[in-house]
């Protein structure tokens, strides 16, 4: 049994203690930290400014649980989906989404998901484990490299909207955002990071208490409890009143505007009455609203609303002086669009089958 410690679980202070206890100068810890978080080293052998002796010592007691690439798919619209493999054999997916104005990395926070939202392919999987902070940073680092190599442009945005519920992996998620935005890590602005939640009220309040400086998005999809509970089980324990209170608290603590994500489903939440309910709820905090085109998954329960419905829905909200963006699907042909991750990836299906048989 491998009892080595994942060295990326150590803070810089803890790593400094480890290094000085071995008789090394404290600055060596900063060098190692830089290799781990800025340069995304996957082995100690890459740390060429360390002595061979120190590298050997570290490799005896520690490991770097680094993601590897299982598969890549490129969409006709240039979206790239990456299947990452964890050190213990699980598959998670991340997506590079290029548009004319931004280059976005959509990353996962868990292997699978426990929330079972009715419209989401990832929700059909079971939750297998949380991702570490390092595994989340690995996704960003690799997708950033893809943007530079494939499209000769910098990564502009990061969204935690892939597999899993970030607020149910709070500690690791928070550390990953710190390392992405820290000069000791990837050095990206926290204002370029958006963490999306299905709605865990107490954890939204905790974000406020921690005074986070990244953006928060709430996957709403219905602005009355009856409908929302039909598609999102989490609403039974975190209803709209509870969420409203949590969002008001978050805004009071951080001063940040909230994004509401609203997927439109045909003949379910696509009427002007639904738009009116959304407009009323959205006034609880300064916000913007993303109206999202639905991406069908294999079960066929929900269907995509006609594009005219999306436009009419958005126009109604704009008439109410709300900030609205309509998000058209990207990467549908490789199942990389919103809600489709893990839909048809054979490696993930194999992972799920193995879990069920145990």
Parse the chain into domains and list their residue ranges: 5-63, 68-357
Q: Tell which wins on pLDDT, 104 or 350.
A: 104
3-state secondary structure of 162: coil
pLDDT exceeds cutoff 70 at 335? no
The reply to whether 93 belongs to the active site is yes
140 within 8 A of 107, measured Cβ to Cβ:
yes
Can you give the pLDDT at residue 328? 67
Domain 68-357 has CATH 3.20.20.70: yes
The reply to whether 338 belongs to the active site is yes
Can you give the pLDDT at residue 160? 98
Is 0.85 surpassed by the pTM of this model?
yes
pLDDT exceeds cutoff 60 at 356? no
Can you give the pLDDT at residue 300? 65
214 within 8 A of 157, measured Cβ to Cβ:
no
pLDDT exceeds cutoff 60 at 322? yes
For residue 295, name the pLDDT band (cuts at 50, 70, 90). confident
CB environment 195-209: b (16+ within 10 A), e (fewer)? bbbbbbbebbbbbbe
Q: What is the mean pLDDT of residues 49-77?
A: 95
Cα distances from 203 to residues 92, 258, 311, in angstroms, run 24, 15, 33
Q: Which range (10-19, 210-219, 296-305) has the least confidence?
A: 296-305
Can you give the pLDDT at residue 353? 33
**Tens digit of each residue's pLDDT (9 = 90 or more) over 120-156:** 877 778 899 999 999 999 999 999 999 999 999 999 9
Q: What is the mean pLDDT of residues 223-251?
A: 97
pLDDT exceeds cutoff 50 at 349? no
* The pair of three-digit structure tokens given for residue 253, joined into one six-digit string: 């603590």
Q: What is the mean pLDDT of residues 218-232?
A: 97
Sign of the Cα torsion 268, 272, 277, 280 reads positive
Average pLDDT, the chain: 91
Q: Give the rounded percent of residues in the chain with a pLDDT score beyond 90.
A: 81
129 within 8 A of 151, measured Cβ to Cβ:
no
Can you give the pLDDT at residue 342? 57
For helices 170-181 and 133-151, give the axis angle rounded to 10 degrees: 40
Q: What is the mean pLDDT of residues 275-286?
A: 98
Spot the catalytic one: 24, 34, 93, 211. 93
* The pair of three-digit structure tokens given for residue 200, joined into one six-digit string: 């865990």
What distance in Å separates the CA atoms of residue 295 and residue 94, rounded to the nearest whole number? 17
Q: What is the mean pLDDT of residues 302-326?
A: 93
Q: Give the rounded percent of residues in the chain with a pLDDT score beyond 70.
A: 90
Can you give the pLDDT at residue 340? 47
Q: Which range (8-17, 39-48, 173-182, 288-297) has the least confidence?
A: 288-297
Cα distances from 13 to residues 20, 29, 37, in angstroms, run 11, 9, 15
Cα distances from 2 to residues 5, 42, 62, 90, 169, in angstroms, run 9, 17, 10, 18, 24
Spot the catalytic one: 113, 117, 120, 338. 338
Can you give the pLDDT at residue 116? 85
Q: What is the mean pLDDT of residues 340-358?
A: 42
Can you give the pLDDT at residue 79? 93
* The pair of three-digit structure tokens given for residue 163, joined into one six-digit string: 């597999």
Angle at 220 between CA 218 and CA 221, to 5 degrees: 145
**Could you tell me how many residues make up the chain?**
358
Q: What is the mean pLDDT of residues 6-16?
A: 97
Cα distances from 98 to residues 9, 153, 330, in angstroms, run 32, 10, 9
Can you give the pLDDT at residue 304? 87
Domain 5-63 has CATH 2.60.40.740: no
DSSP letter, residue 198: S
251 within 8 A of 287, measured Cβ to Cβ:
no
Sign of the Cα torsion 11, 140, 136, 222 reads positive
């Amino acid at each position: 049994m491998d009892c080595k410690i994942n060295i990326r679980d150590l803070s810089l202070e803890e790593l400094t203690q480890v290094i000085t206890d071995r008789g090394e100068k404290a600055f060596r810890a900063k060098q190692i930290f830089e290799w781990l978080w800025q340069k995304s080293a996957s082995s100690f052998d890459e740390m060429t400014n360390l002595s061979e002796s120190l590298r050997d010592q570290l490799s005896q007691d520690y490991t770097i649980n680094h993601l590897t690439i299982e598969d890549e798919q490129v969409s006709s619209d240039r979206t790239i989906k990456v299947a990452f493999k964890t050190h213990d054999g699980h598959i998670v997916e991340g997506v590079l989404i290029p548009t004319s104005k931004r280059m976005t990395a959509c990353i996962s926070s868990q292997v699978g998901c426990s929330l079972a939202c009715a419209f989401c392919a990832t929700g059909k999987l079971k939750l297998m484990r949380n991702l570490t902070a390092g595994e989340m940073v690995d996704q960003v680092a690799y997708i950033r490299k893809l943007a530079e190599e494939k499209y000769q442009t910098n990564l502009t945005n990061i969204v935690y909207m892939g597999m899993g519920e970030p607020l149910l992996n709070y500690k690791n998620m928070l550390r990953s955002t710190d390392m992405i935005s820290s000069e000791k890590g990837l050095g990206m602005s926290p204002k370029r990071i958006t963490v999306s939640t299905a709605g865990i009220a107490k954890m939204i309040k905790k974000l406020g208490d921690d005074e986070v400086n990244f953006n928060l998005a709430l996957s709403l999809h219905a602005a009355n409890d009856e409908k929302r509970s039909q598609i999102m089980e989490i609403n039974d324990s975190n209803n709209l009143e509870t969420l409203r209170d949590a969002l008001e608290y978050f805004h009071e603590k951080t001063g940040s505007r909230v994004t509401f994500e609203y997927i439109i489903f045909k003949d379910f939440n696509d009427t002007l009455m639904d738009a009116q309910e959304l407009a009323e709820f959205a006034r609880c905090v300064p916000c913007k609203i993303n109206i999202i085109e639905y991406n069908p998954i294999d079960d066929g329960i929900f269907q995509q609303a006609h594009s005219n419905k999306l436009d009419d829905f958005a126009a109604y909200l704009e008439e109410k002086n709300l900030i609205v963006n309509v998000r058209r699907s990207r990467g549908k042909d490789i199942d990389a669009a919103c809600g489709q991750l893990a839909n048809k990836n054979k490696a993930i299906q194999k992972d799920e089958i193995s879990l069920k048989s145990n």
